[in-house]
Structure 1
Amino acid sequence: MIESAVLIALHVIGFAMLLSLWRLLRGPTVADRILALDTLYINAIAALILFGMHLRSSIYFEAALVIAMLGFVGTAVLSKYVLRRDIVE
Structure 2
Amino acid sequence: MSASDVVSISTMIALIMLFIAMLISVVRVVIGPTLADRVLALDLLTVLAMGFVGAFAIRTGLMLYLDIAISLALLGFLATVAFARYMLSRLRDEETLP
Q: Which amino acid aligns with 2:65?
A: Y
The structure 2 residue matched to 1:28, chosen from 24, 27, 33, is 33
TM-score (norm 2): 0.85
Larger Rg: 2
Q: Distance in 2 between matches of 1:38 and 1:84?
A: 20
Q: Which amino acid aligns with 1:9?
A: A
Q: Distance in 1 between matches of 2:31 and 2:62?
A: 36
TM-score (norm 1): 0.93
1:54 aligns with 2:59: yes
- Residue 63 (structure 1) shift: 0.2
RMSD in angstroms over aligned alpha carbons?
A: 1.2
1:81 aligns with 2:86: yes
1:71 aligns with 2:76: yes
- Residue 67 (structure 1) shift: 0.3
Aligned length: 86
User: Structure 2 stretches of 5 or more lacking a match?
Assistant: 1-5, 91-98
